[in-house]
Structure 1
Amino acid sequence: MQGTREREDMLHLEHSWTPNIDRLAADGVMLTQHIAAASVCTPSRAAFLTGRYPLRTGMVSSNGYRVLQWTGVSGGLPPNETTFAKILKDKGYATGLIGKWHLGLNCESSDDYCHHPLSHGFDHFYGMPFSMMGDCESWEMSEKRAGLEHKLNVCSHVMALAAFTLTVGKLTRLVAGSWALVICSAIVALLCFTTSYFMGALIVHADCFLMRNHSITEQPMRLQRTTALMLKEVSSFVKRNKQGPFLLFVSFLHVHTPLITTENFRGRSPHGLYGDNTEEMDWMVGQILDTLDTEGLTNSTLVYFTSDHGGSLEAQFGNNQYGGWNGIYKGGKGMGGWEGGIRVPGILRWPGVLPAGRLIHEPTSLMDVFPTVVQLGGGQVPHDRVIDGRDLLPLLLGTAQHSEHEFLMHYCESFLHAARWHQRNRGAVWKVHYVTPIFHPDGASACYGRGVCPCFGDKVAHHDPPLLFDLSRDPSEAHALTPDTESSFHQVMERITKAVEDHRRTLSPVPLQLDMPDNIWKPWLQPCCGRFPLCWCDREADPQ
C-alpha cells in the first residue's frame, strides 16, 4: 500500500488517531531510514516500480516540469522498462493496481495505452490515470487552473487592447492596412477570455476521471464516493484472486490536496482537514487488513506501507496547513536532498515470517521493493540493466545486520543535489549537499509563495565545498560540519566524491519523459468518454 504525495507518517502526527497503521507497525518491521528516490510523485513512483533511479528511466526533466502535467501527454514510463508487476505476472501472479497511476497513458493516439498500467505488468487497473489535485474540486488552492487563467487573462487583455488600438487607428486613419488584423485580434481576445472562463471545468474533465482497465467509468469523478469505490474494488480483487498468488498495489488518493474526506471523518481530528483525511486513510488501511483477515489471507500475505515522498510545506492557505508536517526533518516535498522531502515511512508485515515490532535503523530505499518482491515471487532481477534497489529480505529476517546500500544518490529533476554514505564500521550516515534550494522569504524553512522549490537557476545555492552532515548524530541536518568540527571531513568528502564519479559512469543517456514536447497537453491524446470536448459519463454503480 502506498500513500500519495503528502506523507502519512503517523509517527509525526502525535495526536492523530491511526490505530490501523499502528497495528501494522506493531505486528511488523519498521524501516526508520526509508528513502524515496525522488521528492515528488512521478519520478518516485517510477523508481519504486522499476528499482531504478528515475534518471535511468528518463522519468525526470531538465526544465522545471517535475511531474507529468496532464493526462493527455505523450511522456510516461517507457515501454521497455520492467516493473516488478511484469515479472510477477510472468510467474503466474494476478497483478492489480488500484488508485493513482501518474506515469503516463498514451504515446500517439488516445487509445494506444503505451504507458498504461496494463502495459506495465498489471492485468487489472482501477483508479486515476493522473493524480488527485486541488483543481479536481473548486478549491482554494490550485495547481494548474490559477496559473493558466492568469496567462489567458493576460492574453485576452493584450489582444483586446490591440484590437481597440487598431480600430481607433483605422478610424482616425493613423493606421493603414486591412481590417482583418483587427478582426483576428478581437477573435483571439474572445477565445482567450472564453477559455479562461471555462478553464476550471476543462481541467476537471481532462484529468479528474476514473478508469477500469482501458475504459473510462466516471468523467469527471464524483469525489465524495471515490473512497467507497476504491475499497469495493480492493475487496473484489482479493476475493477473485485469493486461491492463487496475487500482487495488489493500492495507491491511495489520500493524503493529498484537495484532501477529499467523506462526511463521516470531517471535523474529527485536532489537525483540521489534513488530520481528518489522514484518519480516513488509516480507516481504509484497516478495511483492507480486515478483508485479508476475513478471507484467511493474513498469514500468507506480505503487506508493505509507505509514501512516495515527504510532506508539502508550501501547501498553505491562510493559517491552514494542507501538506502535512515532516517532524524533525528539514525540508519537504520538491526538495531534492533535504531529509524532509525523501525520508518516508516503511512498514512491512508478514505474520510468522517477519519479527513483530522490530525497528531497522539502516538506510533503505523504495527501490528495494523491486528486487525484494521479485525474489519472493520466484522471479529473477533483469541482468541487462542497472538495478539500484537491494533485496530487503536478509535485513528483514535478521540474517544480515547492515543494509546493502553503501551509497544513495539524491536527485532533483536530472540534477544531483546530494549523496549519502553509510560508513558501516563507524555507524555513521554521512550526507553531502551540493545544491540546496534558497528558501523564501529569508529565514523561512520552505519556498513559500512558489508552490515548490526549484532544482536549478538563481533560486538554488551551489556549495563548494559541499555541506556535510552526519545523520546518525544530526538527523535534522541542523549543523553543517567543517574541517574544524569533524576530523574526517576531507576523507569523507573524497570517498563520496569517488562514489558519485562511479555512479555517473553507470548512467546512459535516455529521452527525458518529463521534458517538452512530451509533457505538454495534446488534444489527440486526451481520453474522453463521449464526444470530445464534451467528455462526460457515469458508469459506476452506487457503492454505498
Structure 2
Amino acid sequence: MKFAPFLNLLLCLVFAPLSVLGAEAPAEKPNILFIMVDDLGKEWISCYGAEDIRTPNIDALAAGGMKFHNAYSMPQCTPSRATLLTGKYPWRNGYVNHWDVPRWGVGYFDWKKRENTTFARLMKDLGYATCAAGKWQINDFRIEPQAMKKHGFDDWAMWTGYESGVKASAERYQDAYINTPDGSRTYKGEFGPDIYTDRLIAFMKAHREEPMCLYFPMALTHGPLVPTPDEPDAKTGAARHKAMVSYTDKLVGRLVSALDELGLREKTIVIFTTDNGSGSGIVGTRNGKKVKGQKGKESEAGTCAPFIVNSPGLVPSGVETDALTDFSDLLPTFVELGGGKVPEDLTVDGVSIAPVILGKAKDSEREWIMALGHGPARLDEKGVRGVKDFATRVIRDKRFKVWVSSEREIIRLHDLKEDPDEKVNLLGSEKPEHLKAIEKFRKVIDSMPEKDARPLYEPRAANPWDRKVK
C-alpha cells in the first residue's frame, strides 16, 4: 500500500464526525413500529386469555413472535407517555400524576430541557426517519404548533387533546380534530383512528428506503365509547367498547399488511402494548375470571400490560417470557436496536431489552420493575407538582410485589405466584423468603429521593384557559 493513500484513510477514520450516540450499527438497521393502545388490559386481548372477544391480528403477532408476561406500564396516561419517551421514571421526570396540558394550560413537556430528550430525537441522531400518529396530549399545539418536530418527529398526525374553549377539539374519533405539520383542523366525516393509521402507512411508503421509527399511541380504546365504521349500530357502552377493541385489532392488521406489501416486514420490529389497564366501567373475562378495568390503579390489572414483540427473522417466534421489563426500558431498547448507545450525559432509568427481543439472551437484566402515577396532579404557587411529595408506587420482581405509601413505607406484600389477585397481604410474615423480599425492596425505595421531581418547563405568560392555583 502506498503511504499517502494510507495516511489519508487513517486521517479520515480518526477525524470522522462521531454521532452523539456513536456506536457500531448493524449492517441494516431495523425499522421500529411501536403501537400503544389507550386504556386496555390483558382481559381484552385473546392471546392473553380474554374470552369476550377475539383479536386475531394481535394474536398473530404473539404466535409469530414474543409474548411478555411481566411488562409494566404506568397506571395512567401522562406518566406512561413521559416514561416511555424519556426512559425516566415519573419520580425523576416529574410526571408523577396525570396532567392534561391542552385542557389545563399550565405546564408542558418541554423540548428545551435536556432531561426531556425523547427516543425520537435519539433515533434521528442514528439516521432514522421518525413519525408519530394518535394521541400526544402533553403539549398545547395552539401555543407551539411545531411541538412534535421539536420533540424529534419528522411527521405527525396527532389528536390535539381537548383544548379548553375549542369545542371541536374534544373529538378524537368521528370528525376528529387533528394537528399535523400544516396545523390543526377538523376532519369532517372521517374517523380519527383511520387518519392516524393512514398517516403512518403513507410515511412508510415515503421513507421505505430509510430506517424508520414509528410511534403509534392510539386514541382507541379510551372513552368516549363510540360506534366504529365497522359497527355503526353498536348502542350500549359494552357493545361499543367491544367494537372499539375489534377496530384496534383491525388497524394492527392494516399496519402489518402494509409492511408486507412494502417488503418491510422482515426488517421491522413491531411492538404492541397498552398504556394502562381498561377503564373502570369496563368488565372483561380472562381465563374464567371477571376482571373490572383497573385504569389508574396500582394492581396488576392496572399496570401489568400486554407486551408483544414480532419481527420474522429478527425476533424468535412462539416465545413466551417472564423477563421483567417496564416502560423506562423502551428508550434504551430502541437506541440499541438502532445500533447506538444512550449518551453518557443523559440519565435514564431503563435497561435495554434488545438482547431478549433478538433472542440473544433468555432474560433481562432487571431485578425489579416499578409503576407509579395515578390521579390528576395539582398546582401550587410554583406550578405543576405531584399530589404528594412522594407518590405511591408498586415494585415487583418475578414473584413478589410491594405497595409503597406516600410516607415511603411498604404497606403490602404479595406473592404473585400464589396470589395473582393480590388478596393476601403478607406484611408481618416471619418466613425467610418474605423477609428477604421486604429487605430487597426496601433498598430500592431507599435509593430514590425523598421528594419526587417536578415537571421541567419554562413558565409562560398566562393564557385565559390556564388552571388556577386553588
Query: Do the aligned partners of residues 391 and 525 (structure 1) sit closer, same or farther apart at CA in structure 2, a change above 3 Å counting?
Result: same
State the secondary structure of the residue aligned to 2:339: coil
Which residue, out of 425, 432, 435, partners 1:490?
Answer: 435
Query: Do the aligned partners of residues 51 and 469 (structure 1) sit closer, same or farther apart at CA in structure 2, a change above 3 Å counting?
Result: same
Q: CA deviation at 1:124?
A: 0.6
1:340-370 CA distance string (max 9 Å, x none): 2111110110101111110011221122121
**Aligned-partner Cα distance in 2 for 1:232–1:496:** 45
Query: Do the aligned partners of residues 277 and 485 (structure 1) sit closer, same or farther apart at CA in structure 2, a change above 3 Å counting?
Result: farther
**Aligned-partner Cα distance in 2 for 1:482–1:508:** 25
State the secondary structure of the residue aligned to 1:60: coil
Is 1:269–1:276's contact at 8 Å kept on the other side of the alignment? Answer: no
**Aligned-partner Cα distance in 1 for 2:353–2:40:** 25
**Aligned-partner Cα distance in 1 for 2:41–2:293:** 13
1:75 correspondence with 2:107: yes
**Aligned-partner Cα distance in 2 for 1:225–1:113:** 22
Counterpart amino acid of 1:126?
A
Partner of residue 57, structure 1: 93
Partner of residue 12, structure 2: none
Partner of residue 185, structure 2: 217
Counterpart amino acid of 2:320?
L
Q: Structure 2: give runs of 5+ residues left out of the alignment.
A: 1-34, 172-176, 375-385
Is 2:41–2:277's contact at 8 Å kept on the other side of the alignment? Answer: yes
Q: Structure 1: give runs of 5+ residues left out of the alignment.
A: 137-198, 316-320, 423-427, 436-455, 457-461, 527-544
RMSD, matched Cα: 3.2
**Aligned-partner Cα distance in 2 for 1:328–1:480:** 22
Which residue, out of 21, 31, 40, partners 2:58?
Answer: 21
Percent identical residues: 28
Which residue, out of 323, 333, 344, partners 1:383?
Answer: 344
Which residue, out of 129, 137, 150, partners 2:160?
Answer: 129
Is 1:265–1:280's contact at 8 Å kept on the other side of the alignment? Answer: no
Q: CA deviation at 1:207?
A: 4.5
State the secondary structure of the residue aligned to 2:156: strand
Query: Do the aligned partners of residues 274 and 223 (structure 1) sit closer, same or farther apart at CA in structure 2, a change above 3 Å counting?
Result: farther
Query: Do the aligned partners of residues 44 and 501 (structure 1) sit closer, same or farther apart at CA in structure 2, a change above 3 Å counting?
Result: same
**Aligned-partner Cα distance in 2 for 1:71–1:463:** 31
Partner of residue 332, structure 1: 294
State the secondary structure of the residue aligned to 1:49: helix
Counterpart amino acid of 1:432?
V
1:3 correspondence with 2:37: yes
Q: CA deviation at 1:17?
A: 2.5
Query: Do the aligned partners of residues 240 and 72 (structure 1) sit closer, same or farther apart at CA in structure 2, a change above 3 Å counting?
Result: farther
Query: Do the aligned partners of residues 503 and 331 (structure 1) sit closer, same or farther apart at CA in structure 2, a change above 3 Å counting?
Result: farther
1:471-486 to structure 2, matched below 5 A, reads 471-484=416-429, 486=431
Q: CA deviation at 1:31?
A: 0.8
Query: Do the aligned partners of residues 269 and 23 (structure 1) sit closer, same or farther apart at CA in structure 2, a change above 3 Å counting?
Result: farther
Count the aligned residue pairs.
405
Partner of residue 9, structure 2: none
TM-score w.r.t. the length of structure 1 is: 0.67
Is 2:284–2:292's contact at 8 Å kept on the other side of the alignment? Answer: no
1:196-215 CA distance string (max 9 Å, x none): xxx9xx45235442111251
Counterpart amino acid of 1:54?
P
State the secondary structure of the residue aligned to 2:399: strand
Partner of residue 255, structure 1: 221
Partner of residue 25, structure 2: none
Rg: which structure is higher? 1
1:140-168 CA distance string (max 9 Å, x none): xxxxxxxxxxxxxxxxxxxxxxxxxxxxx
Of 262-271 and 471-480, more deviation after overlay is shown by: 262-271
1:442-464 CA distance string (max 9 Å, x none): xxxxxxxxxxxxxx7xxxxx897
Partner of residue 347, structure 1: 308
Q: CA deviation at 1:92?
A: 1.6
Q: CA deviation at 1:75?
A: 1.6
Is 2:277–2:295's contact at 8 Å kept on the other side of the alignment? Answer: yes
TM-score w.r.t. the length of structure 2 is: 0.77
Query: Do the aligned partners of residues 74 and 90 (structure 1) sit closer, same or farther apart at CA in structure 2, a change above 3 Å counting?
Result: farther
